[in-house]
A and B are shown apart, each in its own frame.
Chain A
Amino acid sequence: DVKVTQSSRYLVKRTGEKVFLECVQDMDHENMFWYRQDPGLGLRLIYFSYDVKMKEKGDIPEGYSVSREKKERFSLILESASTNQTSMYLCASRTNGDQPQHFGDGTRLSIL
């Protein structure tokens, strides 16, 4: 089974802090994704990556950056956290070809 692991289930940070959300997958997938999930808005894509050191902007990249130094790890960075970034963050990965994305359990982030 594919396993996508997000480092924290719940996280509380303060406005202005630099926040790191970590995601690791154990299936050697080429592609990794970060989404945020908000009530009434569904999931929205923040960033994704096709390969190590590669990144592409999704629909809502503002205020975020990402890092992919190793194939199995994809980090989401909030450079200076703001209260409107309080949300559920979901990481996903998939291999190339006709395969679906597999998701982690999510990190519920609160910015105070």
Chain B
Amino acid sequence: AQKVTQAQTEISVVEKEDVTLDCVYETRDTTYYLFWYKQPPSGELVFLIRRNSFDEQNEISGRYSWNFQKSTSSFNFTITASQVVDSAVYFCALSEEYNTDKLIFGTGTRLQVFP
């Protein structure tokens, strides 16, 4: 069965701290896709990244970076030098090769960044 686990329900940090959000997934497929979305207080989910299972290169985009490790079935998300505007709920999600429209979401991690 496919499953996404975000064990951290809530994380609080002070501005400028680095923070890592964990995501562990389960799937039987060899081809799959992993996603991160951000949900600020306004409510809409904002797409951050999509990674396919054949691309294990880490990705960096400004203060955001992602570490994909197939050996541990993890796709962790790090925010460097966090800012108050990073406060949001972050969701990790999985979709499979032959059912790419079905996103399986984790339960989300609420990040609070205090000034």
Enumerate chain B residues within 8 angstroms of A40, measured Cβ to Cβ: 107
Q: Which residue of A lies closest to B106 (CB)?
A: A42
Check: A58 CB closer than 8 A to any chain B CB: yes
Chain A at the B interface: SS class: strand
Chain B at the A interface: SS class: strand
Which residues of chain B have a CB within 8 Å of any CB of chain A?
4, 35, 37, 42-47, 50, 91, 93, 101-103, 105-108
Q: Does A45 contact B44, Cβ atoms closer than 8 Å?
A: no
Q: Using A42-B91, A102-B47 as known contacts, list a sample of 7 further A-B pairs with CB atoms less than 8 Å apart, ordered by residue number in A.
A: A4-B44, A90-B43, A100-B47, A100-B50, A103-B46, A106-B43, A106-B44
Choose among A42, A102, A104, A108 the residue with the greatest number of B CB atoms under 10 Å from its CB: A42
Which residues of chain A have a CB within 8 Å of any CB of chain B?
4, 9, 31, 33, 40-45, 48, 50, 58, 88, 90, 92, 94, 98, 100-106, 108
Enumerate chain B residues within 8 angstroms of A106, measured Cβ to Cβ: 43-44
Q: Which residue of B lies closest to A41 (CB)?
A: B107
Q: Of B37, B50, B101, which contacts A31 at CB under 8 A? A: B101
Q: Does B103 contact A43, Cβ atoms closer than 8 Å?
A: yes
Bound Cα distance from A103 to B105, whole angstroms: 14
Enumerate chain B residues within 8 angstroms of A102, measured Cβ to Cβ: 47
Q: Return A61 CB to nearest CB of chain B, in Å.
A: 13
